[in-house]
Amino acid sequence: MVRFDAKMTPAHKELIERAARVKGFKNLTEYVVTTMIEQSVKAIERYETYSVDDRARIMEVLSKPTVLSTSFLKSSRKRSQSLKDAI
């Protein structure tokens, strides 16, 4: 276990204690830790998952055929030949 300390105004502490009582928590620590964990999980899920629009854009890009430029193909052939020559 680790310790977490927080400084706040008396008004903020009273507000948080009231919320803890309203939600049925045994004490302030239990409420604060539980709420922090829940909000942390939500924040991570929100920022680490793709939105529906993101997924649609990814699928759109992946569904298009890749067009390789002439210079890329020429460079690739040259590199392949140099690797064959090195063997």
pLDDT tens profile 3-25: 989 999 999 999 999 999 999 99
| Predicted confidence band of residue 87 (pLDDT cuts 50, 70, 90) | confident
CA distances from 36 to 1, 17, 39, 54, 71 (A): 16, 14, 5, 28, 54
For the chain, the straight-line distance linking the first and the last C-alpha, in angstroms and rounded, comes to 58
Tokens of residue 61, six digits? 């890009």
DSSP, collapsed to helix, strand or coil, labels residue 22 as helix
Residue with tokens 């919320």: 19
pLDDT tens profile 39-77: 999 998 887 787 888 888 888 988 998 888 999 999 999
Tell me what pLDDT residue 70 has: 93
Q: Where do the domains of the chain lie?
A: 10-86
Are the C-beta atoms of 25 and 34 separated by less than 8 Å? Answer: yes
